[in-house]
Amino acid sequence: MVFPFKSIKDFNVELTDEMELFRKTVREFVDNELMPKVVEVEKTGVIPEELIQKGVELGFTGVGIPEEYDGQGGGTLMTAILMEELSRGMPAYGTAILVNGLFTYPVLKYGTEEQKRKYIPPIAKGEVFAAHANTEPAAGSDVAGIQATAEKKGDKWVINGRKIFITGASKAKFLLVSARTSQPPEKRKRWWGITTFIVETDWPGVKIGSKFDVIGLSGEHPDEVILDNVEVPEENVVGPVNEGFKILLDTYDHSRVGIAAQAVGIAQGAFEKAFNYALQRTAFNRQIIAFQAVSFKLADMITEIQAARLLTYWAATLADQDREEAIFAASMAKTFATEVAEKVANLAIKIHGGVGVDRETGVEHYLRDAIITTIYEGTNDIQRLTTIRQLLKRALGIDVLTM
C-alpha cells in the first residue's frame, strides 16, 4: 500500500556522478571560504562582497536556470544540493545566493519571452540580484489578503503598497511584486484579483526601507519595500491579470524544496560540529562520545538527518519530473526537515555544553537559523494544512479551502 501515491516507483531518487562532483566543489568552497568567515558575519551582520563574487564565479547564481538564458542548467535537485551544502557552512549565504529563484522561477514559467531575455540572463550571470516582494503586514501565510494595489492608468499600472520581510531586497535590481488589481467577486474567491509585476528598484517611487533585525540568518536580514505610485509598463505584467495568486502559490510550492534543503544543511553542519567536539572533548578521563548521554544523541541526530535528506531529495525529484505529487512531497519535506534542523541544532548546543552558547564556537547560530526555516516560505502549520488538503483531494476527490 503506497497511498496516496500510485506505485512504489514513485519513491525513486536518482543521483548522478555530475551531481556528486558538483557537491564536492561546493563543499570545498564552503570549507575553505565560508567556514572561516562565519563568526565574522555573525558579528557584523554583513556577508563580505568578495564571498558573494566567489560564488558568482563558481556559477552558483546560474544553477537551475536553463543554459539558453545563460544559466548553468540543472533542476530542483541540483539546486537543493547547492542549498544544502552552502547552508551547512553559512545558511545566510545560501539564502543570499538562491533567493533569486523566487524571481526567476515565476518569470521563466509564466513570463513572456521578452521578459525572460531581458531579466533572466543578468541574474544567471550574477551581474544583478532579484527578490520576491509579496508579504505584507496583514498578509503572510494568507496570500489572498494582500492590500497593495495596482491601478491601470493608460498603458501603465500604478502600484501602491508596503511589503515586509523581503529577503534580498536591499541588493536587488529586480523585484517580483504582487498587487491587487481587482476586488474578488465573492468570498470564496478571495484569491482572484491579484496580479504579479516585474518592478525595477531604481524606478521612481520604489524605496527600500529598514531592515528587520531577525534572530537568524545574520548577513541576509530581510527588508521593507515601499511602493509609492510606482509606474509599471504593461509589458512587465507576469502571467494573466487577476490570476497572480496561482503564480505565487506555484512559486512557493517549488521553492519550498529549497528551504527543506537549507534545513538539511543546517542540521548536517550542526551535527558535524557536535560529532567532532564529542571526539575531542574529554570528561572524567574519557572522550564524551563514550557516554551514552552523548552518543545516543548523535545517533538520533544522524538518523533524522538522513531521513530528512531522503525526503527532500525525493520531493526535488518529483518537482523535476513536474509531478503533481511534488506539492505534497515538498510540504512534507519542508515540515520534517526544518523541525529536524531545529532539534539537531538544539542537541548540538547541549553536547557542546557551556561553549555551545558562545558565539565564537560557531554552533549556536544553527539553532537561530533553523527557527527561521520553520517560518518562512510558509509556516509549518501551513505545510500541514497543505498536506492534509492534498491527502483529502487524493482520497475523496475534494479540495477544501478550510479545515
Nearest one of 78, 129, 72 to 104, comparing CA atoms? 129
DSSP-assigned beta bridge partners for residue 287: 282
Integer CA distances (angstroms), 84 to 1, 176, 371, in order: 31, 25, 16
DSSP-assigned beta bridge partners for residue 46: 219
Residue 2's identity, in one-letter code, is V
- DSSP-derived secondary structure for 282-300: EETTEEGGGSHHHHHHHHH
Integer CA distances (angstroms), 51 to 20, 48, 263, in order: 23, 6, 21
HEC secondary structure over 66-102: CHHHCCCECCHHHHHHHHHHHHHHCHHHHHHHHCCHH
Residue in 85, 136, 342, 377 annotated catalytic: 377
Question: How far does Cα 256 stand from its chain's mean position?
Answer: 6
Please report the sign of the dihedral spanned by the C-alpha atoms of residue 77, residue 83, residue 88, residue 89.
Answer: positive
Residue 377 is among the residues annotated as catalytic for this protein: yes
Give percent helix, percent strand, percent coil of the chain, each to the nearest 5: 60, 15, 25
Residue 339's identity, in one-letter code, is E
Rounded Cα–Cα distance for residues 49 and 76 (Å)? 26
Output b/e per residue, 293-320; b: 16+ Cβ within 10 A.
ebeebbeebbebbeebbebbbbbbbbbb
| Torsions phi, psi for 22 (to 5 deg) | -65, -45
The residues carrying an active-site annotation are 377
